[in-house]
Amino acid sequence: MWCAARTVVRAALSAWTGLILLSHHHRFHWLRGMEPTGVLMPNWCFFAPDPAEHDYRLLYRVIGLRGVYSGWRSESEIAERRWYHTVWCPGRRSDKALFDMCAEFLHEVGHRPERATRTAVYAALRGRVWTRVRRYENSRTQAFQFAVVRCSGYAGGDTEFLYLSPLCVLTTAEA
């Protein structure tokens, strides 16, 4: 009798745990709707109660001495996913920093667009792009322009331009 009761309790707890874990996958989110109180099917989003559904990227283009614009290039590449990224992915810290900077900058642009280029976040974004331009572009660059875009990251899909900077003309010392 006790053996059968233990088996039933173990099976019920295993099924319950499995449902909770499964409900955290985005394809099975509908399972949480079956129990609206959140008591029996808790939502364990400790660090991201509203997780991001997109990424921000910085794109840039350079303007040569003859005024010719290059195509848009990404300021940083999206690292290919590896199995060990579930545990260790230090490159995501830079992506998270960019995400936070872009979110704060876009918030500022939404409230005070006339002051956008005078904020510390704008200077940080410009400096990040300028570092990339200085490192990877040729010496015939006279200016660059950057854009903050929203994309779906690994999923691909559409890219939405959210902010286009004014031309950042390089001084003689920078060039």
Sequence-ordered alpha helix ranges (H) in 40-119: 91-111
Together in a domain, 92 and 144: yes
- 66 and 14 together in one domain: no
pLDDT value at position 47?
57
pLDDT in tens, 22-53: 777 767 767 777 777 667 777 666 556 666 67
Residue 71 dihedral angles phi and psi, to the nearest 5°:
-75, 170
- Domain extent, residue 142, equals 55-169
- Do 92 and 123 fall within a single domain? yes
* Mean pLDDT of the 111-134 span: 89
68 and 121 share one domain: yes
Q: In terms of domains, do 20 and 66 share one?
A: no
Q: Beta-strand (E) ranges in the chain?
A: 55-64, 73-74, 141-151, 160-164, 168-169
The pLDDT of residue 124 is above 90: yes
Clarify whether residues 69 and 141 are in a common domain. Answer: yes
In a domain, 102, yes or no: yes
Is 41 contained in some domain?
Answer: no
Query: Closest Cα to residue 78, out of 154, 152, 149?
Result: 154
Residue 131 Cα to chain centre, angstroms = 20
How far is 75 from 149, CA to CA, in rounded Å? 11
Number of domains in the chain: 2
My answer on whether 64 and 93 are in the same domain is yes
The pLDDT-based confidence of 141 (bands split at 50, 70, 90) is confident
pTM above 0.75, yes or no: no
At residue 149, the pLDDT reads 92
pLDDT at 97 over 70: yes
Domain assignment of residue 92, yes or no: yes
Q: Is residue 147 part of a domain?
A: yes
